[in-house]
Amino acid sequence: MQIEEGLLLLKKNCYACHNPNTTSHGEIIAPPIQGIKEHYLRAYPSREAFSSAMVSFVGNPIEEKALMKGPVKRFGLMPKPPIPEEELQKIIAYFQDNKLETPAWWADHTNGGH
The pTM score is 0.86
Rg of the Cα atoms in the chain: 13
Average pLDDT, rounded, for the chain? 90
What confidence score (pLDDT) does residue 112 get? 66
At 90, is the secondary structure helix, strand, or coil?
helix
Q: Which residue, 108, 105, 103, 89, is CA-closest to 6?
A: 89
The ranges assigned to domains in the chain are: 1-15+37-99
CA distances from 15 to 34, 44, 95 (A): 12, 23, 13
More confident residue, 3 or 87: 87
Measure the CA dihedral 76/82/85/87, to 10°: -110
Q: Which residue, 41, 29, 58, 35, is CA-closest to 97?
A: 41
Q: What is the pLDDT of residues 32-59, one digit of tens each?
A: 999 999 999 999 999 999 999 999 999 9
What confidence score (pLDDT) does residue 23 get? 86
